[in-house]
């Protein structure tokens, strides 16, 4: 059998975030739309040719986007939010839906399954589905013009509708409405020469898949009746799928994840559940992590799979959107570099395996095997830990702690605060870069930070907030910052991945056992507190989020690494408390994100998450107030675990969910402090007093007024200074009026 190679998707960002910089230049009116399109086309061309150079038999198109592939699909099928209807369907409309504008709020932003990517939620209220400009066909033809053998990629109708919200139609009716439009898109691509079309249906790996089987079968039977099904590959990823059901669908083949499926997909195939006549697209290279493959194990997997199908493609387990582009620009210790594989290196691993099987050429294969073996023999682990000596529960109940904290902090009703970060201005970023590159001295950089902190303390005083923050000007990212300071982490120079829109993060890599070796945040926090009589929050990132937003180790259980991080954060919490910091926030925005896709794993995951958070925060005195923060909605499944964290105050993003979260509190008596974010910081628009007052009153329907805090929905680092000041002034003004009755 000839082994073929393909890819599911490639990072949009570019090796040095060229994509992000171009889009933000357009937003800031530094370049016009024609320039944006020309430069993005050049970047897309570079991505396509790079993949071709790794001898892929088929390169994806449709993965490239101006913002988000789900939003692209919404515009393709005219699923446009009611408040944005009546305009031309173009790039400016796309950006306004994603970011909001002066008149209208943006659409909701939600995590893409259990990854750190976010998609724009399609809204079905009063829509008239129709086919707009076929950007997918345009991009396929662009690849053809470059002599790139490409396959189009589109999110499938079942997944698209499942990720949507609103509208009066039933789920099945929405799907049926879209089917003729999908058929029209498929026909145009087939007529243009597409040998197959990758239809992404990751929703079929979730707990809900069984309830979707009837409409899924109906949809793909429709495509068969219309003569397009034999060109479709149903692509799944992130978990296992019911292969017996997939075999009932009249399509060309299936894409399965053999990395994150807990072994179930392979077990089903070995039971003979794969129709041999179907093409198998086997996701054997981890598309979500940066570790090099055990290439010998991948060889054995290919040998097994080739017995059960007549046509086998090998590929990453998911789109490579979730990993950085290349190791080429990194300066790393060889001991660690041997174990790493970014997007281009993963394509090279596929090429090595393809050469081995098709040409009996083991040169690349042996080189990868040698590097992998070298890395495995390094000693980055086996440190000693004393988990039992650290408390995993607060000394007193919340009712007791609350009295002591109220006496100490003397806060007014409906206390106001922010989530932690203030704008990372161009000057802040320049000073940090100059310091890192040794263009300015440590003393000069520290003076700059102190001046910036002092300036923002004055701003917070003038606005009238009740609990202050220092602004996090010394931090590039809420996880990377800790990765730079904790033992066992590696921070890259260009290891960027897309989080949402033009927002990119650079996850640290956990390569060994984690340890706290020195204070991480004490100096800046203590200095800030010296400038004001108002309480200043110590700002830390929690162990679950640090793990979920890092590239994790795969050689030890997740809970082991998570608890190592928790011990490190506990050391920092106690160091802040010892320096008389009265309020300490340990953020866990990624706790919900990491929830496994199958409910059978939920209880264990949540128990481990709660234990780690308590390990990090429970050793403080009753008087010390512990805050946490979560964002990106969909908390219903974990509301009880949120309560079990026993944080004195939790702030939760709710603004983009337009109050949907309030429903989650209807089946729980939430008797801890809570702040439901009252305006959307991801949008440049300034909220009105009426909007904020409505948001507060909506929250007070379910939350005791004496427990209610008022805050933005997330950190403010991405906003402009004037936007932040104007929005916070509106927030405080609204609260003052509510306090007066």
Mean pLDDT of 559-573: 97
End-to-end Cα separation, the chain, in angstroms: 77
CA dist., res. 290 & res. 551, Å (int): 7
* Residue 657 predicted with pLDDT over 60: no
Supply the pLDDT for residue 284: 98
Known binding positions for L-homocysteine: 419-421, 587
Burial of 737 (0-12, 13-18, 19+ CB in 10 A): exposed
Query: Residue 312 phi/psi, 5° resolution?
Result: -125, 120
Known binding positions for 5-methyltetrahydropteroyltri-L-glutamate: 20, 116, 549
Please list, in sequence order, all residues whose beta carbon lies within 8 angstroms of the beta carbon of residue 248, skipping any fewer than 6 positions away: 217
Q: Residue 626 in contact with residue 584, Cβ under 8 Å?
A: yes
- Does 598 qualify as catalytic in the annotation? no
Out of 59-63, 227-231, 718-722, which region has the weakest mean confidence (pLDDT)?
A: 718-722
Among 179, 27, 151, residue whose Cα is nearest residue 100: 27
Please list, in sequence order, all residues whose beta carbon lies within 8 angstroms of the beta carbon of residue 385, skipping any fewer than 6 positions away: 563, 564, 567
CA dist., res. 72 & res. 94, Å (int): 8
CA dist., res. 32 & res. 30, Å (int): 7
Supply the pLDDT for residue 703: 86
Q: What angle (nearest 5°) sits at the alpha carbon of residue 156, between those of residues 150 and 160?
A: 130
Known binding positions for Zn(2+): 629, 631, 640, 644, 653, 714
Q: Does domain 400-485+520-739 have CATH number 1.10.357.10?
A: no
Q: What angle (nearest 5°) sits at the alpha carbon of residue 46, between those of residues 115 and 508?
A: 35
Supply the pLDDT for residue 655: 63
Supply the pLDDT for residue 698: 86
Known binding positions for L-methionine: 419-421, 472, 587
Supply the pLDDT for residue 447: 96
- Domain boundaries defined on the chain: 4-377, 400-485+520-739
Element containing residue 478 per DSSP (H, E): none
Mean pLDDT of 288-311: 97
Q: Residue 152 in contact with residue 198, Cβ under 8 Å?
A: yes
Buried b (16+ CB within 10 A) or exposed e, 352-388: bbbbbbeeeeeebbeebbebbeebeeeebeeeeeeee
Strands 150-155, 197-200: pairing is parallel
Give the tens place of pLDDT for each residue, 43-80: 999 999 999 999 999 999 999 999 999 999 999 999 99
* Residue 633 predicted with pLDDT over 60: no
CA dist., res. 421 & res. 235, Å (int): 39
CATH fold label, 4-377: TIM Barrel (3.20.20)
Confidence class for position 639, pLDDT limits 50, 70, 90: confident
Please give the model's pTM, rounded to 2 decimal places.
0.90
Please list, in sequence order, all residues whose beta carbon lies within 8 angstroms of the beta carbon of residue 141, skipping any fewer than 6 positions away: 192
Among 392, 383, 318, residue whose Cα is nearest residue 556: 383
Alpha helix stretches (DSSP H) within 390-425: 398-409
Q: How many CB atoms lie within 10 A of CB 86?
A: 7
The number of residues in the chain equals: 741
Please list, in sequence order, all residues whose beta carbon lies within 8 angstroms of the beta carbon of residue 601, skipping any fewer than 6 positions away: none
Supply the pLDDT for residue 349: 98
Give the tens place of pLDDT for each residue, 464-476: 999 999 999 999 8
Supply the pLDDT for residue 351: 98
Known binding positions: 20, 116, 419-421, 472, 549, 587, 629, 631, 640, 644, 653, 714
Give the tens place of pLDDT for each residue, 20-36: 999 999 999 999 999 99
Supply the pLDDT for residue 191: 98
Mean pLDDT of 90-108: 94
Averaged pLDDT score across all residues of the chain: 94
Strands 497-500, 503-505: pairing is antiparallel
Mean pLDDT of 336-347: 95
Among 187, 233, 278, 310, residue whose Cα is nearest residue 60: 233
Element containing residue 210 per DSSP (H, E): none
Q: How far is CA 669 from the centre of its chain?
A: 30
Supply the pLDDT for residue 631: 77
* Residue 15 predicted with pLDDT over 60: yes
Among 261, 732, 189, 139, residue whose Cα is nearest residue 466: 732
Supply the pLDDT for residue 364: 96
* Structure-model confidence comparison of residues 697 and 286, the more confident one: 286
Give the tens place of pLDDT for each residue, 131-178: 999 999 999 999 999 999 999 999 999 999 999 999 999 999 999 999
Give the tens place of pLDDT for each residue, 515-558: 999 999 999 999 999 999 999 999 999 999 999 999 999 888 99
Give the tens place of pLDDT for each residue, 658-697: 456 666 666 677 899 999 888 888 778 899 999 999 989 9
Mean pLDDT of 76-97: 97
Catalytic residue among 69, 118, 627, 682: 682
* Residue 725 predicted with pLDDT over 80: yes
What are the E-state strand segments in 209-329? 232-235, 253-257, 279-285, 312-316
The DSSP code for 278 is S
């Amino acid at each position: 059998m000839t082994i073929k190679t393909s890819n599911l998707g490639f990072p949009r960002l570019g090796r040095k975030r060229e994509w992000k910089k171009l889009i933000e230049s357009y937003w800031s009116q530094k370049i016009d739309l024609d320039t944006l399109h020309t430069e993005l086309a050049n970047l897309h061309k570079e991505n396509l040719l790079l993949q071709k150079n790794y001898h892929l038999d088929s390169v994806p198109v449709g993965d490239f986007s101006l913002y988000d592939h789900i939003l692209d699909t919404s515009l393709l099928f005219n699923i446009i939010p009611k408040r944005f209807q009546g305009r031309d369907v173009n790039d400016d409309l796309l950006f306004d839906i994603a970011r909001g504008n002066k008149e209208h709020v943006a659409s909701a932003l939600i995590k893409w399954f259990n990854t750190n990517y976010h998609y724009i939620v399609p809204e079905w209220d009063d829509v008239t589905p129709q086919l707009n400009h076929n950007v997918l066909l345009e991009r396929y033809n662009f690849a053809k013009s470059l002599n790139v053998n490409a396959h189009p990629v589109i999110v499938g109708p079942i997944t698209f509708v499942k990720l949507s919200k609103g509208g009066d139609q039933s789920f099945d009716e929405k799907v049926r409405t879209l089917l003729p439009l999908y058929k029209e898109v498929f026909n145009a691509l087939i007529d243009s020469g597409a040998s197959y079309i990758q239809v992404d249906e990751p929703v079929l790996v979730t707990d809900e898949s069984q309830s979707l089987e009837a409409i899924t079968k109906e949809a793909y039977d429709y495509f068969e009746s219309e003569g397009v099904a034999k060109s479709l590959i149903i692509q799944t990823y992130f978990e296992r799928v019911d292969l017996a059901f997939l075999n009932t669908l009249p399509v060309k083949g299936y894409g399965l994840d053999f990395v994150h499926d807990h072994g179930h997909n392979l077990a089903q195939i070995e039971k003979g559940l794969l129709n041999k006549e179907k093409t198998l697209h086997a996701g054997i290279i981890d598309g979500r992590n940066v570790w090099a493959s055990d290439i010998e194990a991948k060889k054995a997997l290919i040998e097994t799979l080739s017995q059960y199908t007549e046509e086998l493609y090998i590929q990453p387990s998911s789109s490579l959107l979730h990993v950085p582009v290349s190791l080429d620009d990194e300066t790393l210790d060889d001991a660690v570099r041997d174990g790493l594989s970014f997007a281009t290196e993963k394509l090279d691993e596929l090429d090595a395996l393809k050469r081995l099987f098709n040409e009996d050429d083991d040169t690349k294969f042996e080189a990868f095997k040698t590097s992998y073996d070298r890395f495995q023999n390094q000693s980055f682990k086996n440190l000693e830990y004393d988990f039992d000596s650290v408390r995993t529960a607060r000394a007193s109940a919340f009712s007791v702690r609350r009295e002591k904290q109220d006496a100490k902090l003397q806060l007014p009703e409906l206390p106001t605060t922010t989530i932690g970060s203030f704008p990372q201005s161009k000057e802040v970023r320049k000073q940090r870069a100059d310091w890192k590159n040794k263009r300015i001295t440590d003393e000069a950089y520290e003076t700059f930070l102190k001046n910036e902190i002092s300036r923002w303390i004055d701003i917070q005083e003038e606005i009238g907030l009740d609990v202050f923050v220092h602004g996090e000007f010394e931090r590039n990212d809420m996880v990377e910052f800790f990765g730079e300071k904790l033992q066992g982490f590696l921070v890259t120079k260009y290891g960027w991945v897309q989080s949402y829109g033009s927002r990119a993060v650079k996850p640290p890599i956990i390569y060994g056992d984690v340890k706290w070796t020195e204070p991480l945040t004490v100096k800046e926090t203590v200095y800030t507190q010296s400038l004001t009589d108002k309480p200043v929050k110590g700002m830390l990132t929690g162990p679950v989020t640090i793990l979920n937003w890092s590239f994790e180790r795969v050689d030890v259980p997740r809970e082991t690494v998570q608890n190592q991080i928790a011990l490190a954060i506990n050391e920092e919490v106690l160091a802040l408390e010892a320096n008389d910091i009265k309020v300490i926030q340990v953020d866990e925005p990624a706790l919900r994100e990491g929830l496994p896709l199958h409910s059978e794993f939920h209880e264990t995951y949540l128990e481990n998450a709660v234990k780690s958070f308590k390990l990090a925060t429970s050793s403080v005195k009753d008087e010390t107030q512990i805050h946490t923060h979560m964002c990106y909605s969909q908390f219903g499944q974990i509301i009880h675990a949120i309560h079990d964290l026993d944080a004195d105050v939790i702030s939760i993003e709710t603004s983009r969910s337009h109050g949907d979260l309030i429903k989650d509190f209807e089946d729980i008596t939430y008797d801890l402090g809570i702040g439901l974010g009252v305006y959307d910081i991801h949008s440049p628009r300034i909220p009105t007093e009426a909007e904020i007052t409505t948001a507060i009153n909506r929250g007070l329907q379910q939350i005791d007024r004496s427990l209610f805090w008022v805050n933005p929905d997330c950190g403010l680092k991405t906003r402009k200074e004037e936007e932040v000041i104007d929005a916070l002034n509106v927030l405080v003004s609204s609260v003052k009026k509510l306090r007066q009755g």
